[in-house]
Structure 1
Amino acid sequence: MDGAARDDGAAAAVVARVPGAAALGLLPPPGAAAVPGTLLADPGWTAEVLAVRAVRAGTGDRRVLATVWWYSLSSVLLTPALAGLVTGRPLSGRLDDTAVHLRAGAAPVAATATAGRGDLAGELRGTLAAVVAAVAGAGGVRERPLWAVATDSLANRLLALGRALGDVPTAAALAGPLAAAVGAPLPAPRYEDVAGARFTRRASCCLLYRVPHEALCTSCPRRHPAERRVLLEDTAARLRA
Protein backbone atom coordinates (compact mmCIF):
# COMPACT_ATOMS: atom_id res chain seq x y z
CA MET A 1 0.00 0.00 0.00
CA ASP A 2 2.43 2.59 -1.23
CA GLY A 3 1.19 5.60 -3.15
CA ALA A 4 1.97 9.05 -1.83
CA ALA A 5 0.46 11.94 -3.74
CA ARG A 6 2.91 13.91 -5.86
CA ASP A 7 4.51 16.59 -3.70
CA ASP A 8 4.05 19.96 -5.43
CA GLY A 9 4.60 22.04 -2.29
CA ALA A 10 0.95 23.04 -1.95
CA ALA A 11 0.32 20.90 1.12
CA ALA A 12 3.35 22.33 2.90
CA ALA A 13 2.04 25.85 2.33
CA VAL A 14 -1.25 24.89 4.01
CA VAL A 15 0.47 23.07 6.87
CA ALA A 16 2.54 26.18 7.59
CA ARG A 17 -0.69 28.15 8.13
CA VAL A 18 -2.45 25.67 10.45
CA PRO A 19 -1.30 25.37 14.07
CA GLY A 20 -1.29 21.76 15.19
CA ALA A 21 -1.39 20.49 11.61
CA ALA A 22 0.00 17.08 12.58
CA ALA A 23 -2.71 16.48 15.19
CA LEU A 24 -5.33 17.41 12.59
CA GLY A 25 -4.04 14.76 10.18
CA LEU A 26 -2.34 17.07 7.70
CA LEU A 27 1.10 15.52 8.28
CA PRO A 28 1.57 11.74 8.05
CA PRO A 29 3.34 10.23 11.07
CA PRO A 30 6.49 8.16 10.62
CA GLY A 31 5.78 4.59 9.64
CA ALA A 32 2.29 5.21 8.25
CA ALA A 33 1.60 3.50 4.94
CA ALA A 34 0.56 5.77 2.06
CA VAL A 35 -2.45 4.55 0.10
CA PRO A 36 -3.32 6.19 -3.24
CA GLY A 37 -6.72 7.85 -3.09
CA THR A 38 -7.97 5.91 -6.10
CA LEU A 39 -7.70 2.66 -4.13
CA LEU A 40 -10.34 3.92 -1.71
CA ALA A 41 -12.91 3.56 -4.50
CA ASP A 42 -12.16 -0.15 -4.93
CA PRO A 43 -14.79 -2.30 -3.16
CA GLY A 44 -12.51 -5.34 -3.24
CA TRP A 45 -9.69 -3.51 -1.48
CA THR A 46 -12.20 -2.03 0.96
CA ALA A 47 -13.50 -5.51 1.78
CA GLU A 48 -9.94 -6.56 2.61
CA VAL A 49 -9.58 -3.54 4.89
CA LEU A 50 -12.79 -4.44 6.71
CA ALA A 51 -11.48 -7.96 7.26
CA VAL A 52 -8.28 -6.58 8.78
CA ARG A 53 -10.19 -4.19 11.01
CA ALA A 54 -12.59 -6.92 12.14
CA VAL A 55 -9.82 -8.63 14.08
CA ARG A 56 -9.00 -5.54 16.17
CA ALA A 57 -12.63 -4.46 16.51
CA GLY A 58 -13.79 -7.84 17.71
CA THR A 59 -16.84 -7.97 15.46
CA GLY A 60 -17.65 -9.57 12.14
CA ASP A 61 -20.66 -7.34 11.49
CA ARG A 62 -19.72 -5.89 8.12
CA ARG A 63 -22.36 -3.16 8.32
CA VAL A 64 -20.80 -1.92 11.55
CA LEU A 65 -17.25 -2.33 10.26
CA ALA A 66 -18.05 -0.44 7.04
CA THR A 67 -19.77 2.44 8.81
CA VAL A 68 -17.03 2.87 11.44
CA TRP A 69 -14.39 2.66 8.70
CA TRP A 70 -16.14 5.38 6.69
CA TYR A 71 -16.55 7.53 9.78
CA SER A 72 -12.80 7.52 10.42
CA LEU A 73 -11.79 7.59 6.76
CA SER A 74 -14.09 10.44 5.70
CA SER A 75 -12.81 12.67 8.48
CA VAL A 76 -9.21 12.15 7.40
CA LEU A 77 -9.93 12.18 3.66
CA LEU A 78 -11.70 15.56 3.71
CA THR A 79 -9.19 17.38 5.89
CA PRO A 80 -6.64 18.56 3.26
CA ALA A 81 -9.27 20.04 0.94
CA LEU A 82 -11.05 21.75 3.84
CA ALA A 83 -7.78 23.06 5.26
CA GLY A 84 -6.98 24.51 1.86
CA LEU A 85 -10.40 26.15 1.75
CA VAL A 86 -10.05 27.68 5.22
CA THR A 87 -6.52 28.98 4.64
CA GLY A 88 -7.09 30.27 1.12
CA ARG A 89 -4.45 27.92 -0.34
CA PRO A 90 -6.60 25.45 -2.34
CA LEU A 91 -5.81 21.74 -2.15
CA SER A 92 -7.40 19.15 -4.40
CA GLY A 93 -10.39 17.06 -3.39
CA ARG A 94 -9.78 14.54 -6.20
CA LEU A 95 -8.86 10.95 -5.37
CA ASP A 96 -6.20 11.06 -8.10
CA ASP A 97 -4.44 13.87 -6.23
CA THR A 98 -4.80 12.43 -2.72
CA ALA A 99 -3.09 9.86 -0.51
CA VAL A 100 -4.40 8.55 2.79
CA HIS A 101 -1.92 7.34 5.38
CA LEU A 102 -2.76 4.28 7.49
CA ARG A 103 -1.29 2.97 10.71
CA ALA A 104 -1.31 -0.68 11.75
CA GLY A 105 -4.77 -2.20 11.66
CA ALA A 106 -5.79 -0.01 8.71
CA ALA A 107 -6.37 3.05 10.90
CA PRO A 108 -6.54 6.30 8.85
CA VAL A 109 -4.37 8.94 10.51
CA ALA A 110 -3.55 11.53 7.84
CA ALA A 111 -4.15 12.58 4.26
CA THR A 112 -2.10 14.60 1.80
CA ALA A 113 -3.15 16.28 -1.45
CA THR A 114 -1.71 18.35 -4.26
CA ALA A 115 -2.85 21.81 -5.34
CA GLY A 116 -6.51 22.33 -6.16
CA ARG A 117 -7.83 22.90 -9.67
CA GLY A 118 -10.60 25.38 -8.95
CA ASP A 119 -13.79 23.30 -8.53
CA LEU A 120 -13.61 21.96 -4.98
CA ALA A 121 -17.31 21.10 -4.77
CA GLY A 122 -17.15 19.12 -8.00
CA GLU A 123 -13.99 17.34 -6.87
CA LEU A 124 -15.54 16.40 -3.53
CA ARG A 125 -18.75 15.26 -5.21
CA GLY A 126 -16.81 12.80 -7.32
CA THR A 127 -14.64 11.64 -4.45
CA LEU A 128 -17.51 11.09 -2.04
CA ALA A 129 -19.67 9.31 -4.62
CA ALA A 130 -16.86 6.92 -5.54
CA VAL A 131 -15.77 6.04 -2.01
CA VAL A 132 -19.30 5.83 -0.60
CA ALA A 133 -20.18 3.36 -3.36
CA ALA A 134 -17.14 1.24 -2.53
CA VAL A 135 -17.84 1.23 1.21
CA ALA A 136 -21.52 0.44 0.66
CA GLY A 137 -20.62 -2.42 -1.67
CA ALA A 138 -18.00 -3.89 0.64
CA GLY A 139 -20.12 -3.58 3.76
CA GLY A 140 -23.56 -4.32 2.40
CA VAL A 141 -24.94 -1.00 3.64
CA ARG A 142 -27.13 1.62 2.03
CA GLU A 143 -25.36 4.65 0.60
CA ARG A 144 -27.58 7.37 2.10
CA PRO A 145 -26.46 6.84 5.74
CA LEU A 146 -22.86 7.02 4.55
CA TRP A 147 -23.55 10.40 2.94
CA ALA A 148 -24.90 11.56 6.31
CA VAL A 149 -21.65 10.45 7.94
CA ALA A 150 -19.78 12.47 5.30
CA THR A 151 -21.65 15.68 6.07
CA ASP A 152 -20.90 15.26 9.78
CA SER A 153 -17.22 14.73 8.97
CA LEU A 154 -17.23 17.87 6.82
CA ALA A 155 -18.81 19.89 9.64
CA ASN A 156 -16.51 18.44 12.31
CA ARG A 157 -13.35 19.03 10.31
CA LEU A 158 -14.24 22.65 9.64
CA LEU A 159 -14.89 23.11 13.37
CA ALA A 160 -11.52 21.59 14.23
CA LEU A 161 -9.75 23.80 11.71
CA GLY A 162 -11.61 26.85 13.01
CA ARG A 163 -10.53 26.06 16.57
CA ALA A 164 -6.92 25.60 15.45
CA LEU A 165 -6.97 28.94 13.64
CA GLY A 166 -8.87 30.75 16.39
CA ASP A 167 -11.87 31.59 14.21
CA VAL A 168 -14.64 29.02 14.52
CA PRO A 169 -17.44 31.20 13.08
CA THR A 170 -15.62 31.85 9.80
CA ALA A 171 -14.64 28.22 9.30
CA ALA A 172 -18.07 26.87 10.25
CA ALA A 173 -19.77 29.34 7.89
CA LEU A 174 -18.10 27.54 4.97
CA ALA A 175 -19.88 24.25 5.68
CA GLY A 176 -23.36 25.07 4.39
CA PRO A 177 -22.39 26.66 1.07
CA LEU A 178 -19.85 23.94 0.33
CA ALA A 179 -22.31 21.12 1.06
CA ALA A 180 -24.97 22.84 -1.05
CA ALA A 181 -22.49 23.13 -3.92
CA VAL A 182 -21.59 19.44 -3.60
CA GLY A 183 -25.32 18.72 -3.78
CA ALA A 184 -27.61 15.82 -3.00
CA PRO A 185 -27.47 13.30 -1.49
CA LEU A 186 -25.09 15.12 0.87
CA PRO A 187 -27.29 16.51 3.68
CA ALA A 188 -26.93 20.07 4.90
CA PRO A 189 -24.47 20.27 7.81
CA ARG A 190 -25.85 21.64 11.07
CA TYR A 191 -24.29 23.22 14.14
CA GLU A 192 -25.50 24.04 17.63
CA ASP A 193 -24.01 26.32 20.25
CA VAL A 194 -23.83 24.92 23.78
CA ALA A 195 -22.36 26.80 26.74
CA GLY A 196 -20.42 29.14 24.47
CA ALA A 197 -18.96 26.46 22.20
CA ARG A 198 -20.04 25.27 18.78
CA PHE A 199 -20.64 21.61 17.99
CA THR A 200 -21.84 19.62 15.02
CA ARG A 201 -25.48 18.61 15.31
CA ARG A 202 -25.03 15.14 13.98
CA ALA A 203 -27.08 13.78 11.10
CA SER A 204 -25.57 10.30 11.43
CA CYS A 205 -24.65 7.51 13.81
CA CYS A 206 -21.23 6.00 13.19
CA LEU A 207 -22.29 2.68 14.87
CA LEU A 208 -19.15 2.68 17.01
CA TYR A 209 -21.31 1.71 19.99
CA ARG A 210 -21.93 -1.62 18.23
CA VAL A 211 -18.22 -2.47 18.56
CA PRO A 212 -17.43 -4.44 21.74
CA HIS A 213 -16.38 -2.25 24.70
CA GLU A 214 -17.30 1.01 22.90
CA ALA A 215 -19.99 3.49 23.95
CA LEU A 216 -22.23 6.03 22.27
CA CYS A 217 -20.35 9.12 21.09
CA THR A 218 -20.92 12.30 23.10
CA SER A 219 -22.89 13.95 20.31
CA CYS A 220 -24.60 10.79 19.02
CA PRO A 221 -28.16 11.48 17.80
CA ARG A 222 -29.23 8.26 19.56
CA ARG A 223 -28.70 9.93 22.94
CA HIS A 224 -31.59 11.62 24.69
CA PRO A 225 -31.35 15.35 23.89
CA ALA A 226 -31.06 16.36 27.56
CA GLU A 227 -28.27 13.85 28.17
CA ARG A 228 -26.45 14.95 25.03
CA ARG A 229 -26.63 18.59 26.09
CA VAL A 230 -25.15 17.86 29.53
CA LEU A 231 -22.26 16.00 27.92
CA LEU A 232 -21.70 18.82 25.42
CA GLU A 233 -21.69 21.35 28.27
CA ASP A 234 -18.92 19.33 29.92
CA THR A 235 -17.01 19.29 26.65
CA ALA A 236 -17.45 23.05 26.27
CA ALA A 237 -16.01 23.57 29.74
CA ARG A 238 -12.95 21.54 28.80
CA LEU A 239 -12.50 23.54 25.61
CA ARG A 240 -12.50 26.78 27.64
CA ALA A 241 -9.99 25.44 30.17
Structure 2
Amino acid sequence: MTDGGQAAVAARVPGAGALGLVAPPVGSVVPGPLLADPGWTAERVAELGQRYRSDDRRVLATVWWYSLSSVLVTPPLAGLATGVPLSPRLPDLSLTLLAGGTPVAAVSGAPWGDVAAELRETLEAVIGAVAEAGAVRPAPLWAIATDSIANRLLALGRALGDVGAVTALAGPLAAAVGAPLPAPRYVDVGPRAVRFTQRASCCLLYRLPHEPTCTSCPRRTPFERQVLLEDTAERIG
Protein backbone atom coordinates (compact mmCIF):
# COMPACT_ATOMS: atom_id res chain seq x y z
CA MET A 1 0.00 0.00 0.00
CA THR A 2 1.32 3.45 -0.89
CA ASP A 3 0.83 6.34 1.51
CA GLY A 4 -1.75 7.95 -0.80
CA GLY A 5 -0.47 11.45 -0.13
CA GLN A 6 -0.06 11.04 3.61
CA ALA A 7 3.67 11.78 3.37
CA ALA A 8 2.78 15.19 1.93
CA VAL A 9 0.36 15.79 4.79
CA ALA A 10 2.94 14.71 7.37
CA ALA A 11 5.45 17.14 5.85
CA ARG A 12 3.00 19.99 6.51
CA VAL A 13 2.27 19.07 10.13
CA PRO A 14 4.99 19.76 12.73
CA GLY A 15 5.34 16.77 15.04
CA ALA A 16 3.56 14.49 12.58
CA GLY A 17 5.27 11.41 14.00
CA ALA A 18 4.03 12.07 17.51
CA LEU A 19 0.52 12.52 16.12
CA GLY A 20 0.60 9.08 14.50
CA LEU A 21 0.88 10.28 10.89
CA VAL A 22 4.21 8.53 10.31
CA ALA A 23 4.55 4.80 10.81
CA PRO A 24 7.50 4.01 13.11
CA PRO A 25 10.22 1.56 12.03
CA VAL A 26 9.22 -0.82 14.83
CA GLY A 27 5.98 -2.62 15.61
CA SER A 28 3.60 -4.74 13.56
CA VAL A 29 1.53 -3.41 10.67
CA VAL A 30 -2.11 -4.44 10.66
CA PRO A 31 -4.41 -4.07 7.61
CA GLY A 32 -7.40 -1.87 8.31
CA PRO A 33 -10.13 -4.50 7.68
CA LEU A 34 -8.78 -6.57 10.58
CA LEU A 35 -9.93 -3.84 12.97
CA ALA A 36 -13.54 -4.84 12.23
CA ASP A 37 -12.93 -8.49 13.16
CA PRO A 38 -14.51 -9.28 16.57
CA GLY A 39 -12.23 -12.28 17.10
CA TRP A 40 -9.06 -10.31 16.47
CA THR A 41 -10.39 -7.51 18.65
CA ALA A 42 -11.15 -9.98 21.46
CA GLU A 43 -7.50 -11.06 21.32
CA ARG A 44 -6.37 -7.44 21.71
CA VAL A 45 -8.75 -7.01 24.66
CA ALA A 46 -7.36 -10.14 26.30
CA GLU A 47 -3.82 -8.92 25.67
CA LEU A 48 -4.70 -5.64 27.34
CA GLY A 49 -6.13 -7.59 30.27
CA GLN A 50 -2.82 -9.34 30.79
CA ARG A 51 -1.00 -6.01 30.82
CA TYR A 52 -3.38 -4.44 33.34
CA ARG A 53 -4.11 -7.66 35.27
CA SER A 54 -7.83 -7.27 34.76
CA ASP A 55 -10.56 -9.52 33.38
CA ASP A 56 -13.22 -6.82 33.03
CA ARG A 57 -13.99 -7.14 29.33
CA ARG A 58 -16.22 -4.09 29.23
CA VAL A 59 -13.57 -1.82 30.70
CA LEU A 60 -10.74 -3.33 28.67
CA ALA A 61 -12.66 -3.05 25.39
CA THR A 62 -13.50 0.57 26.15
CA VAL A 63 -9.86 1.41 26.91
CA TRP A 64 -8.79 -0.39 23.72
CA TRP A 65 -11.26 1.66 21.65
CA TYR A 66 -10.13 4.85 23.36
CA SER A 67 -6.55 4.31 22.20
CA LEU A 68 -7.48 2.86 18.80
CA SER A 69 -10.02 5.50 17.81
CA SER A 70 -7.59 8.34 18.39
CA VAL A 71 -5.09 6.83 15.95
CA LEU A 72 -7.70 5.58 13.48
CA VAL A 73 -9.27 8.98 12.77
CA THR A 74 -6.00 10.88 12.45
CA PRO A 75 -5.30 10.50 8.69
CA PRO A 76 -8.66 11.84 7.44
CA LEU A 77 -8.65 14.62 10.04
CA ALA A 78 -5.12 15.63 9.06
CA GLY A 79 -6.32 15.60 5.47
CA LEU A 80 -9.16 17.95 6.36
CA ALA A 81 -6.82 20.25 8.26
CA THR A 82 -4.29 20.48 5.41
CA GLY A 83 -6.57 20.23 2.38
CA VAL A 84 -5.18 16.89 1.19
CA PRO A 85 -7.87 14.16 1.15
CA LEU A 86 -6.92 10.96 2.98
CA SER A 87 -9.37 8.07 2.99
CA PRO A 88 -10.79 6.78 6.29
CA ARG A 89 -11.98 3.53 4.64
CA LEU A 90 -10.65 0.39 6.35
CA PRO A 91 -9.39 -1.17 3.07
CA ASP A 92 -7.31 1.99 2.53
CA LEU A 93 -5.79 2.03 6.02
CA SER A 94 -2.96 0.25 7.78
CA LEU A 95 -2.26 0.52 11.49
CA THR A 96 0.99 0.07 13.40
CA LEU A 97 0.88 -1.59 16.82
CA LEU A 98 3.81 -1.61 19.23
CA ALA A 99 4.93 -4.89 20.78
CA GLY A 100 2.52 -4.43 23.71
CA GLY A 101 -0.40 -3.94 21.34
CA THR A 102 -0.64 -0.14 21.62
CA PRO A 103 -1.84 1.57 18.38
CA VAL A 104 0.64 4.32 17.47
CA ALA A 105 0.15 5.22 13.81
CA ALA A 106 -2.30 4.91 10.93
CA VAL A 107 -1.51 5.39 7.25
CA SER A 108 -4.08 5.98 4.52
CA GLY A 109 -3.28 4.69 1.06
CA ALA A 110 -5.88 6.59 -0.96
CA PRO A 111 -7.83 9.86 -1.15
CA TRP A 112 -11.36 10.00 0.15
CA GLY A 113 -14.47 10.13 -1.97
CA ASP A 114 -16.99 11.28 0.67
CA VAL A 115 -15.08 11.70 3.92
CA ALA A 116 -18.11 11.79 6.22
CA ALA A 117 -19.82 8.75 4.68
CA GLU A 118 -16.57 6.78 4.64
CA LEU A 119 -15.73 7.73 8.22
CA ARG A 120 -19.19 6.64 9.33
CA GLU A 121 -18.73 3.29 7.59
CA THR A 122 -15.40 2.76 9.35
CA LEU A 123 -16.68 3.78 12.77
CA GLU A 124 -19.74 1.54 12.46
CA ALA A 125 -17.61 -1.47 11.51
CA VAL A 126 -14.95 -1.07 14.20
CA ILE A 127 -17.37 -0.05 16.95
CA GLY A 128 -19.42 -3.13 16.11
CA ALA A 129 -16.38 -5.34 16.61
CA VAL A 130 -15.39 -3.66 19.87
CA ALA A 131 -18.94 -3.84 21.21
CA GLU A 132 -19.12 -7.56 20.44
CA ALA A 133 -15.66 -8.34 21.82
CA GLY A 134 -16.25 -6.47 25.06
CA ALA A 135 -20.01 -6.88 25.53
CA VAL A 136 -20.24 -3.08 25.47
CA ARG A 137 -23.18 -0.97 24.34
CA PRO A 138 -22.30 0.92 21.12
CA ALA A 139 -23.48 4.34 22.36
CA PRO A 140 -20.56 4.98 24.77
CA LEU A 141 -18.15 3.92 22.03
CA TRP A 142 -19.63 6.50 19.64
CA ALA A 143 -19.15 9.12 22.35
CA ILE A 144 -15.48 8.12 22.61
CA ALA A 145 -15.20 8.50 18.83
CA THR A 146 -16.53 12.04 19.12
CA ASP A 147 -13.92 12.90 21.74
CA SER A 148 -11.17 11.34 19.63
CA ILE A 149 -12.22 13.49 16.67
CA ALA A 150 -12.29 16.59 18.84
CA ASN A 151 -8.97 15.81 20.51
CA ARG A 152 -7.18 15.03 17.25
CA LEU A 153 -8.41 18.19 15.55
CA LEU A 154 -7.31 20.16 18.61
CA ALA A 155 -3.84 18.58 18.48
CA LEU A 156 -3.61 19.25 14.75
CA GLY A 157 -4.72 22.84 15.28
CA ARG A 158 -2.02 23.36 17.88
CA ALA A 159 0.58 21.79 15.60
CA LEU A 160 -0.48 23.95 12.65
CA GLY A 161 -0.77 27.10 14.74
CA ASP A 162 -4.47 27.68 14.06
CA VAL A 163 -6.57 26.04 16.77
CA GLY A 164 -9.70 28.03 15.94
CA ALA A 165 -9.85 27.14 12.25
CA VAL A 166 -8.99 23.47 12.68
CA THR A 167 -11.32 22.78 15.60
CA ALA A 168 -14.10 24.52 13.66
CA LEU A 169 -14.04 21.50 11.35
CA ALA A 170 -15.28 19.20 14.12
CA GLY A 171 -18.94 20.21 14.27
CA PRO A 172 -19.70 20.09 10.53
CA LEU A 173 -17.88 16.78 10.14
CA ALA A 174 -19.76 15.15 13.03
CA ALA A 175 -23.07 16.49 11.71
CA ALA A 176 -22.30 15.02 8.29
CA VAL A 177 -21.40 11.65 9.83
CA GLY A 178 -24.71 11.79 11.71
CA ALA A 179 -26.24 10.05 14.72
CA PRO A 180 -25.34 8.27 16.91
CA LEU A 181 -22.12 10.30 16.79
CA PRO A 182 -22.58 13.14 19.32
CA ALA A 183 -21.55 16.69 18.52
CA PRO A 184 -17.95 17.48 19.53
CA ARG A 185 -17.59 20.28 22.08
CA TYR A 186 -14.76 22.51 23.24
CA VAL A 187 -14.22 24.81 26.18
CA ASP A 188 -11.81 27.75 26.39
CA VAL A 189 -10.09 28.05 29.76
CA GLY A 190 -8.13 30.79 31.50
CA PRO A 191 -7.21 34.36 30.54
CA ARG A 192 -5.50 33.14 27.37
CA ALA A 193 -8.55 31.06 26.35
CA VAL A 194 -6.65 27.79 25.99
CA ARG A 195 -8.94 25.34 24.23
CA PHE A 196 -9.73 21.84 25.54
CA THR A 197 -12.16 19.13 24.49
CA GLN A 198 -15.29 19.10 26.62
CA ARG A 199 -15.54 15.36 26.91
CA ALA A 200 -18.70 13.45 26.04
CA SER A 201 -17.24 10.12 27.13
CA CYS A 202 -15.36 8.29 29.85
CA CYS A 203 -12.53 6.00 28.78
CA LEU A 204 -12.92 3.93 32.01
CA LEU A 205 -9.14 3.83 32.44
CA TYR A 206 -9.59 4.71 36.12
CA ARG A 207 -11.32 1.33 36.56
CA LEU A 208 -8.04 -0.49 35.92
CA PRO A 209 -5.48 -1.10 38.69
CA HIS A 210 -3.22 1.84 39.54
CA GLU A 211 -4.59 4.09 36.76
CA PRO A 212 -5.60 7.71 37.46
CA THR A 213 -8.73 9.62 36.56
CA CYS A 214 -8.17 11.82 33.50
CA THR A 215 -7.92 15.57 34.04
CA SER A 216 -10.95 16.29 31.86
CA CYS A 217 -12.95 13.22 32.88
CA PRO A 218 -16.71 13.93 32.81
CA ARG A 219 -17.01 11.95 36.05
CA ARG A 220 -15.18 14.71 37.95
CA THR A 221 -17.25 17.49 39.50
CA PRO A 222 -17.43 20.61 37.29
CA PHE A 223 -15.47 22.60 39.90
CA GLU A 224 -12.69 20.02 40.17
CA ARG A 225 -12.43 19.70 36.40
CA GLN A 226 -12.30 23.47 35.97
CA VAL A 227 -9.49 23.85 38.52
CA LEU A 228 -7.44 21.12 36.87
CA LEU A 229 -8.00 22.54 33.38
CA GLU A 230 -7.03 26.03 34.54
CA ASP A 231 -3.81 24.62 35.94
CA THR A 232 -3.12 22.82 32.66
CA ALA A 233 -4.00 25.94 30.65
CA GLU A 234 -1.53 27.99 32.64
CA ARG A 235 1.24 25.50 31.88
CA ILE A 236 0.33 25.25 28.19
CA GLY A 237 -0.19 28.97 27.73
TM-score interval for Structure 1 and Structure 2 normalised by the shorter chain:
over 0.9
1:92-146 Cα distance to aligned partner (Å, 9 max, x none): 0100000111001210011110232320001100000000000000000000000
- Number of the residue aligned with 1:232: 229
Q: Structure 1: where are the runs of 5+ without partners?
A: 1-5
Which structure 2 residues correspond to residues 154-233 of structure 1 after superposition, within 5 A?
154-195=149-190, 196-233=193-230
Superimposed CA distance per residue, residues 167-186 of structure 1 (whole angstroms, 9 cap, x where no aligned partner): 00001000000000000100
Tell me the distance in 2 between the aligned counterparts of 1:153 and 1:90.
19
* TM score, norm. by length of structure 2: 0.97
- Could you give the per-residue CA deviations for residues 151-178 of structure 1, whole angstroms, max 9, x where no partner exists? 0000000000000000000010000000
| Distance apart, 1:47 and its partner CA | 0.4
1:55 aligned residue:
50
Say yes or no: does 1:150 pair with 2:155: no
1:148 maps to a residue whose letter is: A
- Distance (whole Å) between structure 1 residues aligned to residue 113 and residue 26 of structure 2: 32
Match of 1:44 in 2: 39
**How far is 1:237 from its partner?**
1.4
Alpha carbons 2:4, 2:111 under 8 Å: kept: no
Structure 2: how far apart are the matches of 1:8 and 1:53?
29
Tell me the distance in 2 between the aligned counterparts of 1:170 and 1:115. Answer: 25
Which of 71, 94, 106 in structure 1 is aligned with 2:66?
71
Distance (whole Å) between structure 1 residues aligned to residue 60 and residue 173 of structure 2: 28
1:12-27 alignment to 2 at 5 Å?
Answer: 12-27=7-22
Provide the identity percentage.
70
4+ runs deviating over 6 angstroms: none
Q: Distance in 1 between matches of 2:219 and 2:55?
A: 23
Determine which of 76, 79, 93 is the counterpart of 1:81. 76
Map 1:88-127 → 2, pairs under 5 A: 88-127=83-122
Closer, same or farther in 2 for the Cα pair 1:8/1:76, shift >3 Å? closer
Contact 2:47 2:101 in 1 (8 A): yes
Cα distance in 2 between the residues matched to 1:29 and 1:220: 30
- What is the CA-CA distance between 1:9 and the residue it aligns to? 4.5
The letter for the 2-side match of 1:124 is L
Letter of the structure 2 residue corresponding to residue 225 of structure 1:
P
CA distance in 2, matches of 1:105, 1:162: 29
Which residue of 2 is the match for residue 28 of structure 1?
23
| Map of 1:11 onto structure 2 | 6
Checking the alignment, whether the CA contact within 8 Å between 2:4 and 2:108 is kept in structure 1 is no
1:131 maps to 2:126: yes
CA distance in 2, matches of 1:223, 1:47: 30
Distance 1:197 1:172 in 2: 12
Letter in 2 for 1:163: R
